[in-house]
Amino acid sequence: MLKNLEVLDLSSNEFDGEMGDKIFDLPLLRVLDISDNKISGGVPGGICLNSTGLRVVKLAVNNLTAGLPRELRECRSLEHLCLASNKITGVVPAFLLELPSLKELDLQDNLLNDTSELNETSLFSGVTRLDFSLNRFSGSLPDFFDKFPNLTSFCARSNRFTGGMPKSLVNSRAISVINLRNNSLSGALKFNCSVMVNLTSVDLGTNNFSGFIPSDLSSCHKLRALNLARNKFIGEIPESFKEFKSLSYLSLSNCSFTNLESSLKILQHVPNLTVLVLTMNFRGEMLPVDSILHFKALKALVIANCGLTGNIPLWLNGLTQLQLLDLSWNKLTGSVPSYLGDFKSLFYLDLSNNSLSGEIPKSLTQLPCLSFGNVSLEEGSPDFPFFTRPNMSSRGSALQYNRIMSFPPLIDLSHNFINGSIWREFGNLKQLHVLDLKHNNLSGGIPSELSGMTSIETLDLSYNNLSGRIPSELVRLSFLSRFSVAYNDLSGTIPTGGQFPTFANSSFEGNKELCGPGCGDLSGRFVPKPSSAGSKKSKVTVVGMAVGIGIGSVFILALMFVIILRATMKQEVDPEREDDNDSKEELEPKLVILFQTKEELSLNDLLKSTNSFDQANIIGCGGFGLVFKATLPDGKNVAIKRLSGDTGQVDREFQAEVETLSRAQHPNLVLLQGRDLISWVMEMKKEKRENEVFDPLIFDKENAEEMLWVLEIACVCLNESPKLRPSTQELVSWLHQSAVHR
């Protein structure tokens, strides 16, 4: 019956083991897709022996190993071969590119390390797309592009290629997309634009190219996206750049360019320029104040971390299409211009780490995009990270975004000398996700109207001169995950509702007149409350101070063993811990893991799959943390969100987002599978579900409260932070309080 089968799609399942030969005994098969499984072994050599008409083969995202078999030369009808995201090793054979019907070859994300055979290619190929990215290739790029008259896209990013650009590549008439980002290519940059008439996108970021940018580059008239960031270019931006007619995305960050004023005067003549990133250049120069600069189409302008002096210029007022403005990490003085509030589409404003003074312009509280709706630059964005910003929360490392849509709606005026009060009208910004005003000279009270920022995720007002109380209305901010009012002059009691119980005491420290619920200790330590039960059987739990301590210690250990064993068997609670010092620096104290399968994922698995949460794997960013691309041990590609904040915040994340999704029945939604033990115990107590905490063999309903109290002490003793664990004296005090109550 299957002899007439033409399309076989088994993708996105859990098939494992090696592929047998019988699957290829289908003479009419044209399309085979077994991608996103757990297939192991080598690439099957007999794939085309019986299925001679195969045109499309997709085996991506599996566990295929070894080299590419010579038998693939029999695939005479093959047009599309995708072997991405496996563990294939060795050489890329020349015969593969000589297959007469081949159009697209995707070998990215493997362990291939040899392209030497490709220079021996003798036949002209009809291949239109090659992707060798994310392998282990080294040495010079193969100079074989004259054999590919139809090649439109060549990607080999994130390898170890050295030397210059091959002559045959920079003289290719058909080539449209070149992506060689993150290699070690060097030398002067040369393109024969008179021949490369179809070139539209070039990404050579993060290499070692040096010298001046060639003045004839603008002769590539169709060039739309150009990334030359993180190279060793010097000098000024060529005058000829004003001849670019199609250029829309330009990133020249982190080089050694000079003369910012000249650069802007030239680039203003590029009619379709949408994104301009000039970060980490023009060291110590002055931000031009020339009022005749015009960028009519510009939507994103980034001139950060340049040490620029001067004021924020008036000519920015003419950027009527602006959606993203980043002038952070400079030495700008003067006030924040009120005209910034007139931009209809501005949703991301970062003026942090400057020397700005004066009051916050009230117009910023009236930004239309942050009041009524969102705007993004996602449409048509190029496939390269054209934006890099400092991430001071991670030891000063750079934070790189691949898509501008990842940017949260933000106003960041932190680390300046801004004074005055916080406008109550900020509450009108219902689409704002981040408001950062820390390290300024703001005074007055915190307006209760800030509770109107219903989408806010981060609110930082720390290190100012704010006074009065923390408005209880802020408990309505249900998405708030990061909050700090530390080091002000606040007084009164910290609100107890909403997300406030999840915030660490460091969010409130440095306010002498501020106290926790009931004006209690703000040291951040949980103190178990003794049971008030009067049952005679309470003597079973505490019989004298000395006996109580001894028996209690043994009981704690035994009880924790039973609970952890039970939780492990049910696979409900077991956040993996890692003792590696490097891991502790990079990860939060607790990591909660969500997974659809019954397989356990250890923290070590996640570290390996994300290369220790390397910045290069960031694919998105939100108010709750960064999103990393990861390849799990079974070969499956997933997105992992590393939640920011303390343990309490993690609980809040689950309750606010994951629980709702967990109740939905859909194959594309994950279920909540992991949670930390301490919070689980506390939640069970709060909901009076003690019988679900203890194993039935040891649970005594009449003594449930006493047993839970002992368990609470055990949880405190097991806190990962030594500073939050009780001393022996405190344990004695707690047990003594219990004895008194009984």
Binding-site residues from annotation for ATP: 641
3-state secondary structure of 503: coil
In degrees, rounded to 5, the angle at the alpha carbon of residue 246 between the alpha carbons of residues 241 and 250 is 60
- Cα dihedral sign for 383, 56, 40, 89? negative
What is the secondary structure of 61-87 as a DSSP string?
A: SS--BS---GGGGG-TT--EEE--SS-
In degrees, rounded to 5, the angle at the alpha carbon of residue 529 between the alpha carbons of residues 523 and 530 is 145
What is the secondary structure of 511-573 as a DSSP string?
A: -TEEE-GGG---S----PPPP----GGGGGT-SSHHHHHHHHHHHHHHHHHHHHHHHHHHTS-
Q: With CA atoms as reference, report the closest residue to 712 among 704, 702, 722.
A: 704
The span from the CA of 67 to the CA of 89, in Å, is 5
What is the β-pairing status of strands 482-484 and 458-460? Answer: parallel
3-state secondary structure of 58: strand
Are 556 and 713 a contacting pair, CB within 8 Å? yes
Are 531 and 740 a contacting pair, CB within 8 Å? no
How many beta carbons lie within 10 A of that of residue 393, not counting itself?
9
Q: With CA atoms as reference, report the closest residue to 168 among 149, 184, 187.
A: 149
How many beta carbons lie within 10 A of that of residue 33, not counting itself?
17
What is the β-pairing status of strands 348-350 and 324-326? Answer: parallel
Which 3-state string (H, E, C) describes 447-470? CHHHHHCCCCCEEECCCCEEEECC
The kind and range of the H/E element at 604 are helix 603-609
Counting every residue written for the chain, the total comes to 742
Radius of gyration of the chain (CA): 31
What is the secondary structure of 623-681 as a DSSP string?
A: TTEEEEEEE-TTS-EEEEEEE-S-HHHHHHHIIIIIHHHHHS--TTS-------HHHHH
DSSP secondary-structure letter at 11?
-
Query: Which residues fall within 8 angstroms of residue 175, CB to CB, at 6 or more apart?
Result: 145, 151, 152, 153, 154, 169, 196, 198, 199
3-state secondary structure of 323: coil
Are 460 and 482 a contacting pair, CB within 8 Å? yes
Any bridge partners for residue 458, and if so which?
A: 434, 482
Which 3-state string (H, E, C) describes 123-168? CCCCCCEEECCCCCCEEECCCCHHHCCCCCEEECCCCEEEECCCCC
How many beta carbons lie within 10 A of that of residue 415, not counting itself?
21
The span from the CA of 528 to the CA of 534, in Å, is 18
The kind and range of the H/E element at 444 are strand 443-444
Are 693 and 708 a contacting pair, CB within 8 Å? yes
3-state secondary structure of 438: coil
Binding-site positions read 641
**Residue that is written with structure tokens 């794939």 in the block:** 47
